[in-house]
Amino acid sequence: MSRLADLGRAGQAVWLDFVDRGFLHEGGLKTLVAEDGLTGVTSNPSIFEKAMGHGDAYDEGFGTFLGKADASVQDTYESQAIADIKAAAADLRPVYDRLDGRDGYVSLEVSPYLADGTEETVEEAQRLWAAVDEPNLMVKVPGTKAGVPAIRQLIADGFNINVTLLFSIPAYQAVAEAYMAGLEARVERGEPIDRIASVASFFISRIDAQIDKAIDARVKSGDNEADALKALRGKVAIANAKLAYAWYQQMIASPRWQALAAKGAMPQRLLWASTGTKDPAYPDTLYVDQLIGPDTVNTMPPKTMVAFRDHGSVAQSLTADLDEARHVLAEAERLGLDLAGVTEALVPDGVRLFADAADALLGAVAGKREALLGDRLNSLEAALPDALQQAGKKRLETARAEGWARRLWREDASLWTGGDEARWLGWLSAARGNQVDPAVLAQIAREAKRFRHAVLLGMGGSSLGPEVLAEILGSGEGSPVLHVLDTTDPGQIATVEAQIDPAETLFIVSSKSGSTMEPELLRAYFFDKSGRRGDHFIAVTDPGSGLEKTARADGFAHVVPGDPAIGGRYSVLSAFGMVPAAAIGIDTHAFFEATAPMVFSCGGDVPPAANPGIRLGAIIGEAAVAGRDKLTIVTSPKLRAFGGWLEQLLAESTGKEGRGIVPVDLEPLGQPDSYGEDRLFVHLTLAGDSDDDARLSALRAAGQPVVTIRIARPDLIGQEFFRWEIATAVAGAIIGIDPFDQPDVEEAKVATRKLVDAYEQAGKLDPETPLAETSDFALFAPAGTTGDAASLLRAHFAALEAGGYAGFLAYVERNEADAAAIAVMRAAVRDRRHVATVAGFGPRFLHSTGQAYKGGPSGGAFLTITRDPEPDLAVPGRKASFGTVQVAQARGDSDVLAARGRRVLRVHLKAGGGGIAALRDAVIAAL
Ligand SMILES: O=P(O)(O)OC[C@H]1O[C@](O)(CO)[C@@H](O)[C@@H]1O
Ligand SMILES: O=C[C@H](O)[C@H](O)COP(=O)(O)O
């Protein structure tokens, strides 16, 4: 007869500390039951990681889940774990039935991520219990501080519980107390207690591993108690267990337990866990031989089981030599081996080890999902210099150990500054399409078909996302074409006006706050132009805003609410992006479906290294703190508009407190020697689109960091919105700022408002005296600057230092010709001064990159470009025209930049002069 079966006859149940699909399928467990009298199975996250995290044995099972866009890796893993546990439960069911519930259990552990939460643990145990749905399941709950009350409640609620991670006698006593209290609660409620099973898993080898380590260190250092110390090697854990059992025997004899036993209660057996020897110097059956006694369990890894079957010895060892056990513990104490400290530390250590295993497993499942999704998930490759590669890797490991993915989705503000960040995370769930009402979108899509044009009036987060959607996806058949007006430039307004007929145009007024000046002026302007046709207007705004009131009063066709828990720049997957998208006939349902693989791949259950958003965030965040803070956006032609959206997200989120990322968009690609050490290139490319591959390869070859994101189809652009939102939030955590506020934007608004108010009073703006002028332009700068136009321009660019950047802030119409002239100036400055260059059209950039220019890294030198609007446009009900407001915005912003110590030179292009082309030539000459 098997020695293992002899253990059973000695009163000790033999359990297997192992689960594996192949083993179960081949009938391995059934054989152990039949031949060795095995009566139970335990699992833990490490065991499942070994089973599922390697090889392909579970691929078939994973495949049924992972192919779906919205499968979570946690659910996928769990489905397979549960299948194995159910299979083991079925194999053990005859034992359970034969022993009338006294044994025959299989254990499944609650998530180690929950070990600090009582409520969460209770809920998780209930959930697993329902999911496995087998009477011979034991849910494993750690005996941590938070676990003990959970155990009490779960027992009271009638669940079978295996308490895990017990190392010390006091911790075990607390658990035994919780078990009795739970049973007593049932008795009090008149509920049965005779079918509730529990074991207390007392860990063995991990204690010796720690104590022995301390012993060896002291012996090595020549401790004068070396012999006494050596004598304790491999003894302390067993002595500790023996005394725990002695306490168990007393407890069982107590009147309190006897009263429960009289009502049919089953004792909570001590289960010896961690019984595989870790030190090869020890006999491999040590932690079985020495711990044999009635009403106990030993759960053994397969190797230990094989060894015991071969040469284990069965004797009532647990109650033998108790005095010796006491002596061992007394000696340990005398020698200062600090058993209490060791066992206390082993609890969080055990939780961490299981969490590490769970991370490894979830990471492996996520990897399989990525492979299965193929090009349904946008890919990311990073060619990075060594130092950045290492920093990113290290960051991902810290992020994993600190649970960043989970904490982000749990809305834990301590990831950032511990301020009000949790109030701004509505974009996470919005990415699943939860913020928008599909019926409203469908109605808007239907109604919009009667219009030929749609004009979106909004700034920053309210306009840049819709512009990307319109540019990259375009309008559906029979749906209007979208024009975005995010300006006060009279020329630009006139250009759009010339392209539309207000009678055939739907106007979408988008403003979260509902109080932003530009959309308010534009609304007033076009409302008049439309003949005050409210039914041609839709408002998208946060509930209760001023815009909502106006829209209702003016009978707008729809007032679609935003989510106040989403900031403007994170709002594209909410109503702010989806209403315009629906209006131009984009199938928003299909859009969210195409976006879902990224949303789920960036989930809280996907550890950082396998999480595409966190991976990117680690790269851009580490790059920024290492001085590579000019994130240079390079897109294939069809993705061009995306850069404008991304600029706002990065700049407004991270550029504050003198830190952050300065995005560089639409700067023509140069030769490697044009660039300094402050760049991180991000290349977004759409399959089939053409790229400047030669220049990009040259950059990579020159050691510049290049991240490449490949997008298989235009409708997968939604994935990049979400990936970059996650990445930005993560980069914010690395940089150490609140990525959801924009503290420096307000100041320019206040300065502008002052100027406009003064104009409303006086009918003119304060006169200014130019510092210098040519026939083409006049130059303005803060007091103290002198010289002629050429020397002022020369000094402006000469002041740029490595790591600084040149800004071109143009308060002119945003058209191809002006953009091209600015691009030439940028390339020239970049090539001659080796600094990054940025450009923005005002006032559009004020609601986007303006935050970083004022609040982000210093070192920017800004050339602000204005011109007299010709012709100007009046705003209904106001003295100040659009042109006046635009000039006031330019002046207000320049003043604030200067007040922040930024170098600012304002160039006012004269009417009848050579315009921006003349400025371009003057700038090139000045370099
Ligand atoms: O949607 P709103 O409230 O009009 O704001 C527009 C934009 O202005 C800003 O508040 C900056 O001024 C951005 O954050 C925002 O996206
Ligand atoms: O319930 C079983 C325990 O999880 C297992 O025995 C732990 O063993 P280890 O210390 O070898 O990981």
pLDDT tens across 891-912, in order? 999 999 999 999 999 999 999 9
Give the separation between CA 607 and CA 266, rounded to whole angstroms.
41
Whether residues 125 and 252 share a domain: the answer is yes
* Residue 843, preceding peptide bond in cis (omega within 30° of 0): yes
- Pocket lining: 273 vs ligand 2, CB cutoff 6 Å: yes
Whether residues 552 and 636 share a domain: the answer is no
Q: How remote is the CA of residue 630 from the centroid of ligand 1, in Å?
A: 23
Q: Residue 672, Cα to own-chain centre: how many angstroms?
A: 33
The answer to whether position 363 is within a domain reads: no
Query: Which of 843, 605, 613 minimizes the C-alpha distance to 745?
Result: 843
- Contact between 404 and 410 (Cβ < 8 Å): no
Instruction: Identify the CATH number of the domain in which residue 180 sits.
Output: 3.20.20.70
Give the separation between CA 499 and CA 912, rounded to whole angstroms.
26
> Given pLDDT bands bounded at 50, 70 and 90, which one contains residue 156?
very high
Ligand nearest to the CA of 349: 2
Instruction: Classify the C-alpha dihedral 893-898-901-907 as positive or negative.
Output: positive
The answer to whether position 219 is within a domain reads: no
Q: What is the pLDDT of residues 574-633, one digit of tens each?
A: 999 999 999 999 999 999 999 999 999 999 999 999 999 999 999 999 999 999 999 999
Q: How remote is the CA of residue 440 from the centroid of ligand 2, in Å?
A: 54
Instruction: Identify the CATH number of the domain in which residue 713 sits.
Output: 3.40.50.10490
The answer to whether position 129 is within a domain reads: yes
- Pocket lining: 562 vs ligand 1, CB cutoff 6 Å: no
The answer to whether position 352 is within a domain reads: no
Q: Whose CA is nearest to atom 13 of ligand 1?
A: 847
Q: Ligand 1: which atom is nearest the Cα of residue 518?
A: 4
The answer to whether position 353 is within a domain reads: no
Q: What is the pLDDT of residues 226-263, one digit of tens each?
A: 999 999 999 999 999 999 999 999 999 999 999 999 99
Ligand nearest to the CA of 519: 1
Q: Ligand 1: which atom is nearest the Cα of residue 749?
A: 12
Q: How remote is the CA of residue 273 from the centroid of ligand 2, in Å?
A: 5
Instruction: Name the 3-class secondary structure at 814.
Output: coil
List % helix, strand, coil for the chain (3-state, nearest 5).
Answer: 55, 15, 30
pLDDT for 782 beyond 90: no
Q: What is the ipTM of this complex?
A: 0.93
| Residue carrying structure tokens 């210099």 | 385
Query: Which of 613, 649, 615 minimizes the C-alpha distance to 631?
Result: 649
Q: Whose CA is nearest to atom 12 of ligand 2?
A: 274
- Pocket lining: 462 vs ligand 1, CB cutoff 6 Å: yes
Number of domains in the chain: 4
Q: Residue 541, Cα to own-chain centre: how many angstroms?
A: 27
Task: Confirm whether pTM is higher than 0.90.
Answer: yes
Whether residues 394 and 490 share a domain: the answer is no
| Mean pLDDT (the chain, rounded) | 96
Whether residues 587 and 445 share a domain: the answer is yes
Catalytically annotated residue among 140, 242, 630, 656: 140
Q: How remote is the CA of residue 536 from the centroid of ligand 1, in Å?
A: 23
- Pocket lining: 164 vs ligand 2, CB cutoff 6 Å: yes
Q: Whose CA is nearest to atom 9 of ligand 1?
A: 847
Q: What is the pLDDT of residues 491-526, one digit of tens each?
A: 999 999 999 999 999 999 999 999 999 999 999 999
Q: What is the pLDDT of residues 725-739, one digit of tens each?
A: 999 999 999 999 999
> Given pLDDT bands bounded at 50, 70 and 90, which one contains residue 781?
confident
- Contact between 657 and 737 (Cβ < 8 Å): yes
Whether residues 493 and 570 share a domain: the answer is yes
Ligand nearest to the CA of 138: 2
The answer to whether position 334 is within a domain reads: no
Q: Strands 836-841 and 860-867: what pairing?
A: unpaired
Q: How remote is the CA of residue 172 from the centroid of ligand 1, in Å?
A: 57
pLDDT for 756 beyond 90: no
Give the separation between CA 598 and CA 593, rounded to whole angstroms.
10
- Pocket lining: 643 vs ligand 1, CB cutoff 6 Å: no
Whether residues 557 and 468 share a domain: the answer is yes
Among the candidates 735, 767, 800, a domain finishes at 735
Give the separation between CA 132 and CA 798, rounded to whole angstroms.
71
Ligand nearest to the CA of 297: 2
Among the candidates 567, 593, 619, a domain finishes at 593
Whether residues 673 and 700 share a domain: the answer is yes
Strand partners, 905: 863
- Pocket lining: 459 vs ligand 1, CB cutoff 6 Å: yes
Residue to substitute in 464, 515, 516 for testing ligand 1 pocket (most ligand atoms within 8 angstroms of CB): 516
Q: How remote is the CA of residue 517 from the centroid of ligand 1, in Å?
A: 10
Whether residues 122 and 254 share a domain: the answer is yes
Ligand nearest to the CA of 889: 1
Question: Per mean pLDDT, which range of 55-69, 189-203, 228-242, 375-389 is the poorest?
Answer: 55-69
- Pocket lining: 49 vs ligand 2, CB cutoff 6 Å: no
Rg (CA), the chain: 35
Whether residues 56 and 149 share a domain: the answer is yes
Q: Strands 296-300 and 453-457: what pairing?
A: unpaired
Find the helix or strand (DSSP H, E) in which 201 lies.
strand 198-203
Q: Whose CA is nearest to atom 7 of ligand 2?
A: 274
Q: How remote is the CA of residue 206 from the centroid of ligand 2, in Å?
A: 9
Residue to substitute in 16, 18, 44 for testing ligand 2 pocket (most ligand atoms within 8 angstroms of CB): 44
Q: Provide CB contacts within 8 A for 669, sequence distance 6+.
A: 634, 692, 695, 696, 699
Give the tokens for residue 190.
Answer: 């008149």
- Pocket lining: 742 vs ligand 1, CB cutoff 6 Å: yes
Q: Whose CA is nearest to atom 5 of ligand 2?
A: 274
Q: What is the pLDDT of residues 35-84, one digit of tens each?
A: 999 999 999 999 999 999 898 999 999 988 877 777 889 999 999 999 99
Whether residues 82 and 190 share a domain: the answer is yes
Instruction: Show the CA angle centred on residue 42, arms to residues 39 and 48, nearest 5°.
Output: 140
pLDDT for 174 beyond 90: yes
- Contact between 478 and 448 (Cβ < 8 Å): no
Q: Provide CB contacts within 8 A for 532, sequence distance 6+.
A: 554
- Contact between 108 and 124 (Cβ < 8 Å): no
- Contact between 902 and 896 (Cβ < 8 Å): no
Q: Whose CA is nearest to atom 2 of ligand 1?
A: 511
- Pocket lining: 461 vs ligand 1, CB cutoff 6 Å: yes
Among the candidates 562, 593, 624, a domain finishes at 593
Q: How remote is the CA of residue 17 from the centroid of ligand 1, in Å?
A: 57
Question: Per mean pLDDT, which range of 674-688, 708-722, 775-789, 876-890 is the poorest?
Answer: 775-789
- Pocket lining: 201 vs ligand 2, CB cutoff 6 Å: yes
Q: How remote is the CA of residue 83 from the centroid of ligand 1, in Å?
A: 50
Amino acid letter, 34: A
pLDDT (0 to 100) of residue 870? 82
Q: Mean per-residue pLDDT for 120-128?
A: 97
Range of the domain at 552: 429-593
Q: How remote is the CA of residue 568 from the centroid of ligand 1, in Å?
A: 6
659 secondary structure, DSSP code: B
Q: Whose CA is nearest to atom 14 of ligand 1?
A: 568
Q: How remote is the CA of residue 354 from the centroid of ligand 2, in Å?
A: 10
pLDDT (0 to 100) of residue 765? 86
Give the separation between CA 547 and CA 543, rounded to whole angstroms.
9
Q: Whose CA is nearest to atom 7 of ligand 1?
A: 460
Q: Say what the alpha-carbon torsion angle 109, 112, 115, 117 is, to the nearest 10 degrees.
A: -90
Ligand nearest to the CA of 105: 2
pLDDT (0 to 100) of residue 775? 96
Q: Ligand 2: which atom is nearest the Cα of residue 164?
A: 1
Whether residues 555 and 611 share a domain: the answer is no
Q: How remote is the CA of residue 498 from the centroid of ligand 1, in Å?
A: 27
Give the separation between CA 907 and CA 904, rounded to whole angstroms.
10
- Pocket lining: 298 vs ligand 2, CB cutoff 6 Å: no
Ligand nearest to the CA of 566: 1
Amino acid letter, 348: P
Give the separation between CA 183 and CA 175, rounded to whole angstroms.
12
The answer to whether position 103 is within a domain reads: yes
- Contact between 163 and 171 (Cβ < 8 Å): no
Give the tokens for residue 228.
Answer: 């006494």
| Residue carrying structure tokens 């890294």 | 857
Q: Whose CA is nearest to atom 2 of ligand 2?
A: 273
Whether residues 383 and 255 share a domain: the answer is no
Residue to substitute in 427, 457, 462, 654 for testing ligand 1 pocket (most ligand atoms within 8 angstroms of CB): 462
Q: What percent of the chain has pLDDT over 90?
A: 93
Burial class (CB in 10 A: 0-12, 13-18, 19+), 730: buried
- Pocket lining: 854 vs ligand 1, CB cutoff 6 Å: no
Find the helix or strand (DSSP H, E) in which 707 lies.
strand 706-711
pLDDT (0 to 100) of residue 624? 98
Residue to substitute in 14, 15, 17, 275 for testing ligand 2 pocket (most ligand atoms within 8 angstroms of CB): 17
Q: Whose CA is nearest to atom 11 of ligand 1?
A: 847
Q: Mean per-residue pLDDT for 665-684?
A: 96
Instruction: Name the 3-class secondary structure at 657.
Output: coil
- Pocket lining: 369 vs ligand 1, CB cutoff 6 Å: no
> Given pLDDT bands bounded at 50, 70 and 90, which one contains residue 138?
very high
- Pocket lining: 568 vs ligand 1, CB cutoff 6 Å: yes
- Contact between 454 and 506 (Cβ < 8 Å): yes
Give the separation between CA 611 and CA 78, rounded to whole angstroms.
19
Q: Mean per-residue pLDDT for 269-298?
A: 97
78 secondary structure, DSSP code: H
Q: Provide CB contacts within 8 A for 918, sequence distance 6+.
A: 774, 776, 777, 909
pLDDT (0 to 100) of residue 269? 98
Q: Whose CA is nearest to atom 3 of ligand 2?
A: 273
Ligand nearest to the CA of 271: 2
- Pocket lining: 652 vs ligand 1, CB cutoff 6 Å: yes
pLDDT for 812 beyond 80: yes
- Pocket lining: 210 vs ligand 2, CB cutoff 6 Å: no
Q: Whose CA is nearest to atom 4 of ligand 1?
A: 511
Q: Please indicate whether residue 220 is annotated as part of the active site.
A: no
Give the separation between CA 907 and CA 226, rounded to whole angstroms.
82
The answer to whether position 226 is within a domain reads: no
